[in-house]
Amino acid sequence: MTNTSTVRKTDLIFGRSLDTLTLLRNAMQRDKDGLIQELIDSGLRGRGGAGFPTGLKWKFAKGAPGNEKYIICNADEGEPGTFKDRVILEKAADKVFAGMGLCGWLTGATKGFIYLRNEYIWMRNHILAQMNDMNEAFRQMKLDFSIGLKMGSGAYVCGEETALIESMESKRGEPRNKPPFPAIAGYEDKPTVVNNVETWVYALLISYIGADVFAAYGTEQSTGSKLFSVSGDTPKPGVYELEMGMKLSDFVAEFGDGDTKAVQVGGASGFCVPRRKFDQVIIGFEGIPTGGSMMLFNSHRSMYHVLHNFLEFFMEESCGQCTPCRVGCQQLLLGIEAVKSKTKPAQYLDTLMEFTETMRLASKCGLGQSVGNAFNSIVNEFYEEMIY
Amino acid sequence: MEKTVLEEIIYRQGAQRDRLLPILQDVVEQQNFLTEGDMLHIANLLQMSAAEVYGTASFYSFLPLNRKGKYMIRLCKSIIAKMKGSDQVLAAITDQLGIKPGETTADGVFSLELVNDIGWSDREPAMLINDKVFTDLDPVKVTHILTNYLKQASTQAFVTNLSTN
């Protein structure tokens, strides 16, 4: 085994060689359909984790009928272990807002919103100042588009785009049935583009650097680079912009503490990878995708406690609207406690894994559907730790 | 909350169904929680059912429905926070203020809650106090922070006493 290959770092998002308003002005000189095609060709996929092709989403919204459309920045970053949107909003909010303006120009939307989680209320004044500056810039360049701020109120599920829209409409943040998708009927039932904070910046940058330069990084299905939130047992926690499609073993060689036992890729709703599989796993849509959360655990950590913490989280954050998720999250938590205390036999873990399959099939949104990701990977890989 | 203050908030936000959440948020920003009376009055002025106001408010963890202190401490309890020592920070808070999670001090100055990830896994343990954030906490640091808040609270109480006497 060699440690010669290392992860490739990039500096697109925080790089300051290009002026944000110049980027926007240049983009608005271009042909609209050509620019959307450029986005599609770049292979850019949503950076919040779900990975829907950004160019396609914008194309749908542009083609949607009507002249009332909305652009929404999803800044409800709530996945455990994620904090990259916080850093983008602290250091490069202007690029986020310019990206939204670009989408407004392309799709014909005149109103945008940023939905900011209440946990980030300490940066509200900063966001308002940056937003007002950008709205003024839009006015000066005669772009009929303005951005407003909506605050969240502490609900993880509102990161799901239709729950976010419900919350923006002052309702309980319960996910909607899909279809219709927001690109057709979103906020106020009008065509709506919802993208993650990071996606707006990349879309703006691709309009300048071009699809080829962007896609030169990464792999076929996971082009470009993205921001990773690195935390846990690491000597250098923080936000790093890395090339997509890296091997997890390379990531661990760069960020591990020499004793990494497992990496949780994609937060509580993602997958746990044990040490012996590090060199088999690609970080990207070919392997394990992530919204950016990378939590490292060393051999001193109990994976039972990790799973217990995740399940408590899901039980609290399940919106309760659909039964598989509401009851499932609770029963999984009670179930691993029962096995640990020997009131249920070890085989009960297998029954619980079957529960997660029901949750995956029958839950309405990504929350309930993905609880099984962490559950099954942790239970399967660390079976003995769950029992003893 | 006094009806006139509440009406001022509603007037500023607009008395429409789709302004409910900003109105509730404004009330909580001023008094840290919502009372039954507040919700009934809002329902009246927005011409919607009280159950719907309650149903919406009760969905959100940052809209508390029972009395909270002037300073709302929200300590992160994510797995990363725990790994970095949030339990020791919690013990220090409980020692100093005499309250456990979910409780409010008898003088109504502090409330304490444990909350899910607040977006600082790179600098845990972390907590929010109202609209401020504090990171890289340890028992000594959190005690200093709370001592400052206690001084601030007693100064304000002193000034209030002066002006009312």
Question: Which tens digit of pLDDT belongs to each residue from B79-103?
Answer: 999 999 999 999 999 999 999 999 9
Residue numbers in A near B131 (CB within 8 A) = 121-122, 124
Do B41 and B76 fall into the same domain?
A: no
- B96 with B142, same domain: the answer is yes
Regions of chain A where pLDDT drops below 50: 1-4
If contacts are CB pairs under 8 Å, which of residues 11-50 in chain B contact chain A?
Answer: 17-22, 24-25
Same domain, B88 and B53: no
Q: What is the pLDDT of residues A37-78, one digit of tens each?
A: 999 999 999 999 889 999 999 999 999 988 899 999 999 999
When CB atoms are compared, the residue of A170, A309, A313 closest to B20 is A170
Nearest-neighbour CA in chain B from A75: distance (Å)? 11
- Give A225-298's CATH code, choosing from 3.30.9.10, 3.40.47.10, 3.10.20.30, 3.10.20.600: 3.10.20.600
Determine, yes or no, domain membership for B113.
Answer: yes
Beta-strand relationship, B132-134 and B127-129: antiparallel
Cβ-defined contact of A317 to B17 (cutoff 8 Å): no
Pinpoint the residues of chain A covered by CATH 3.40.50.11540. Answer: 20-215
With CA atoms as reference, the chain A residue closest to B53 would be A171
A·B CB contacts under 8 A: 114
Please tell me the predicted confidence (pLDDT) of residue B165: 56
**Terminal CA-to-CA distance of chain B, rounded, Å?**
23
Whole-angstrom distance, CA of residue A78 vs CA of residue A173: 14
The answer to the question of residue B64 being in a domain is no
Contact (CB<8Å) B79/A151: no
**Surface of A (313-352) touching B: CB under 8 A:** 313, 316-317, 319
Give domain status of residue B88, yes or no.
yes
Residues of B in contact with A317 (CB under 8 A): 116
Instruction: Confirm whether B100 is domain-assigned.
Output: yes
Whether the pLDDT of residue B48 is over 70: the answer is yes
**Is the torsion defined by CA of A221, A223, A228, A233 positive or negative?**
positive
Contact B117 A81 (CB under 8 A): yes
Position A299 scores a pLDDT of 97
Of the partner residues A86, A156, A231, the one whose CB lies closest to the CB of residue B116: A156
Option in A78, A79, A155 nearest B60 (CB): A155
Same domain, B86 and B145: yes
Residue B66 domain flag? no
Q: Do A83 and B122 touch (CB under 8 A)?
A: yes
Measured on CA atoms in the order A27, A30, A32, A34, is the torsion positive or negative? negative
Question: Whole-model pTM?
Answer: 0.96
Contacting residues of A for B13, CB less than 8 Å apart: none
Closest alpha carbon within chain B to A80: B117
Let me know whether B86 and B21 are in one domain: no
The answer to whether A153 contacts B21, with C-beta atoms less than 8 Å apart, is yes
Q: Do A313 and B80 touch (CB under 8 A)?
A: no
- Indicate whether B77 and B10 sit together in one domain: no
Q: Show the domain range for B32.
A: 3-59
Q: How far is A168 from chain B (nearest CA, A)?
A: 8
- Give the residue from chain A lying closest to B63, CA to CA: A153
* CATH code, domain carrying B141: 3.40.30.10
Among chain B residues, CA nearest to A83? B119
Instruction: Report the pLDDT value the prediction gives residue A5, as an integer from 0 to 100.
Output: 52
Interface of A with B in 240-259 (CB under 8 A): none
Q: In what side-by-side order are the strands of the sheet with A225-232?
A: A238-243, A225-232, A293-298, A260-265, A271-274
Q: Using CA atoms, how far apart are residues B118 and B77, in angstroms rounded to an integer?
A: 9
Query: Best mutation site among A82, A119, A311 for testing chain B: the one with the most B CBs within 10 Å?
Result: A119
| Residue B65 belongs to some domain of the structure | no
User: In chain A, where does the domain assigned CATH 3.10.20.600 lie?
Assistant: 225-298
Chain A 100-139, residues with CB within 8 Å of chain B CB atoms? 117-122, 124
Check if CATH label 1.20.1440.230 holds for domain A303-387: yes
Encoded tokens for A7: 């992860």
Residue B12 lies in a domain: yes
Q: Are residue B117 and residue B53 in the same domain, yes or no?
A: no
CB-count exposure of residue B100 (10 Å: 0-12, 13-18, 19+): exposed
Residue B81 included in any domain = yes
User: Is residue B22 located within the same domain as residue B54?
Assistant: yes
Question: Which part of chain A has CATH 1.20.1440.230?
Answer: 303-387
Residues of A with Cβ-Cβ distance to B21 under 8 angstroms: 150, 153, 167, 170
CB contact under 8 A, B119 and A86: yes
Q: Which residue of A has its CA nearest to B21?
A: A170
Report how far Cα A250 is from the mean position of its chain's Cα atoms: 22
Q: Which of B61, B118, B122 sits opposite A155 (nearest CB)?
A: B61
Q: Is the Cβ pair A170, B55 closer than 8 Å?
A: no
Q: What is the ipTM of this complex?
A: 0.95
In three state form, how does the secondary structure of chain A look? CCCCCCCCECCCCCCCCCCHHHHHHHHCCCCHHHHHHHHHHHCCECCCCCCCEHHHHHHHHHHCCCCCCEEEEEECCCCCCCCHHHHHHHHCHHHHHHHHHHHHHHHCCCEEEEEECHHHHHHHHHHHHHHHHHHHHHHHCCCCCEEEEEECCCCHHHHCHHHHHHHHCCCCCCCCCCCCCCCCCCHHHCCEEEEEHHHHHHHHHHHHHCHHHHHCCECCCCECEEEEEEEECCCCCEEEEEECCCEHHHHHHHHCCCCEEEEEECHHHCEEEEHHHHHHCEECCCCECCCCEEEEEECCCCHHHHHHHHHHHHHHHCCCCCHHHHHHHHHHHHHHHHHHCCCCCCCHHHHHHHHHHHHHHHCCCHHHHHHHHHHHHHHHHCHHHHHC
Q: Are residues B94 and B125 both part of a single domain?
A: yes
For testing contact with chain B, the best of A70, A79, A153 (most B CBs within 10 A): A153
The DSSP bridge partners found for residue B132 are B129
Q: Specify the number of domains making up chain B.
A: 2
Contact A43, A53 (CB under 8 A): yes
Q: Examine the domain organization and report whether B87 and B113 are in the same domain.
A: yes
CATH homologous superfamily of domain A20-215? NADH-ubiquinone oxidoreductase 51kDa subunit (3.40.50.11540)
Per-residue pLDDT band for B71 (boundaries 50, 70, 90) equals: very high
Q: Is the pLDDT of residue B123 over 50?
A: yes
Q: What is the CATH number of the domain that holds B18?
A: 1.10.10
Chain B within 8 Å of A282 (Cβ-Cβ)? Answer: no
pLDDT, residue A4, reads 47
